[in-house]
């Protein structure tokens, strides 16, 4: 429910504070008095594009703020952004350079975030209005509200999240199992290689050391023979 609208430097409105009560509120006035500007201000504060062309001539910016009493759908939407909100204050500043800034309950917000939040707060019925009823993404909310099945839907969503969590755990376990099997095959291959190498001879190490010593001695002999041969040629 819209409770208050604050407007500064918007078209012919230098400053206006409008209070709204419960039930039906009617705004009347002559043609050109600014009735449509009030609707336009609500659209702008809820994220409608544009607006810099309607800044009061000579002003550097415009500022619009709207205070709402949130419904359950809006509270649910803001659960992570502001879980304890008792009211929703959306503010927007548009500069003459075309820059636009949004705040929700005093915190910076994006235009997309404000537009999505606005869908839960206001339905503007008019010739070119975009009503929540025509948005397929909100049809389930409307059906659950009508059928009184919001709680069942919430429980189903919770069970689905649990199922997704368990599914991820199963996939992790399968991946770990595959890795264990891969390591098992590798170790089996290495064991077979070691078995085929027949390393059970206790004297094999000493035999290898003796063979290495022979090779090293042969290298020294060849080196010495080479020096003798070179000396004989030079002599």
**In this predicted model, what pLDDT tens digit does every residue of 46-62 receive, in sequence order?**
988 877 888 999 999 99
Q: Which residue has the tokens 């705004």?
A: 27
| Sheet order of strands, 2-10 included | 13-19, 2-10, 61-68, 88-95, 100-104, 107-109
**Distance (Å, whole) CA 130 – CA 119:** 9
Q: In CATH, which of 3.40.50.300, 3.40.50.720, 3.50.30.40, 3.40.50.1360 is domain 2-130?
A: 3.40.50.300
d(CA 17, CA 64): 10
Closest CA to 11 of 31, 34, 27, 29: 34
Which own/partner pairs from 205-212 qualify as long-range (CB within 8 Å, at least 24 positions apart)? none
Confidence of residue 133 (pLDDT cuts 50, 70, 90): low
Please write the tens of the pLDDT for every residue from 26-45: 888 888 777 888 888 999 99
pTM of the entire predicted model: 0.53
179: pLDDT strictly greater than 90? yes
Q: List Cβ neighbours of 59 (8 Å cut-off, separation of 6 or more).
A: 9, 96
Q: What residues does each domain of the chain span?
A: 2-130, 155-234
pLDDT at 77 over 70: yes
């Amino acid at each position: 429910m819209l409770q208050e609208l604050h407007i500064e430097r918007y078209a012919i409105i230098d400053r206006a504070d409008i209070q709204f009560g419960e039930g039906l509120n009617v705004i009347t006035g002559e043609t050109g008095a600014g009735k449509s500007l009030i609707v336009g201000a609500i659209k702008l504060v809820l994220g409608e594009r544009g607006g810099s062309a309607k800044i009061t001539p000579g002003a550097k910016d415009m500022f619009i703020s709207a205070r709402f009493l949130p419904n359950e759908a809006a509270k649910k939407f803001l659960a992570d952004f502001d879980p304890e909100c008792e009211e929703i204050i959306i503010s927007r500043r548009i500069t003459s350079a075309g820059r636009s800034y949004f705040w929700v309950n005093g915190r910076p917000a994006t235009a997309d975030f404000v537009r999505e939040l606005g869908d839960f707060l206001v339905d503007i019925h008019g010739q070119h209005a975009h009503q929540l009823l025509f948005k397929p993404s909100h049809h389930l909310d409307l059906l659950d509200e009508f059928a009184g099945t919001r709680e069942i839907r919430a429980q189903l969503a919770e069970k689905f999240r649990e199922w997704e969590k368990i599914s991820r755990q199963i996939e992790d376990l399968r991946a770990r199992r595959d890795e264990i099997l891969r390591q098992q095959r590798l170790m089996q291959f290495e064991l077979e290689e070691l078995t085929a190498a027949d390393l059970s001879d206790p004297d094999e190490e000493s035999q290898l050391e003796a063979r290495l010593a022979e090779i090293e001695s042969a290298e020294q002999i060849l080196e010495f023979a080479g020096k003798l041969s070179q000396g004989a040629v030079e002599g």
